[in-house]
């Protein structure tokens, strides 16, 4: 699955930090896969300005390919569906919802 820089940041910020042991391990593995290493941050020209992260869109291209496991996709889809039921989705979640919930559906 190809995820843009923005999608990765939104997904990293929405992953829960509490839950069952199994869920926490799944989220930890997902965070590790999605995180930005120092080299990638340099390539993308990451800058934090007033709590907002900016990057070079040309360097980011279309995004980065991730090989996510089926249960990771299902779990993220469930998180997004729960957010939808609670009316907590924002415009930033739309592309993630389309990718994770439609794959699951």
How many residues make up the chain in this entry? 105
User: What pLDDT score was predicted for residue 10?
Assistant: 97
pLDDT at 51: 85
Q: pLDDT tens, 91-104?
A: 999 999 999 998 65
Residues of the chain with pLDDT under 50: 105
What pTM was estimated for this model as a whole? Answer: 0.91
Which range marks the domain in which residue 86 is found?
Answer: 2-104
Burial code (b: 16+ CB inside 10 Å, e: under 16) for 6-25 equals bbbbbbeebbeeeeeeeeee
Tally of domains within the chain: 1
């Amino acid at each position: 699955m190809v995820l843009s820089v923005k999608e990765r940041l939104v997904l990293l910020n929405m992953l829960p930090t509490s839950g069952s042991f199994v869920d926490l391990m799944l989220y930890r593995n997902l965070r590790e896969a999605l995180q930005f290493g120092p080299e990638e941050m340099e390539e993308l020209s990451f800058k934090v300005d007033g709590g907002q992260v900016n990057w070079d869109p040309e360097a980011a291209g279309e995004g980065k390919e991730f090989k996510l496991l089926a249960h990771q996709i299902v779990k993220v889809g469930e998180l997004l569906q729960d957010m939808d039921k609670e009316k907590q989705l924002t415009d930033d979640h739309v592309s993630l919802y389309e990718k994770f919930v439609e794959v699951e559906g």
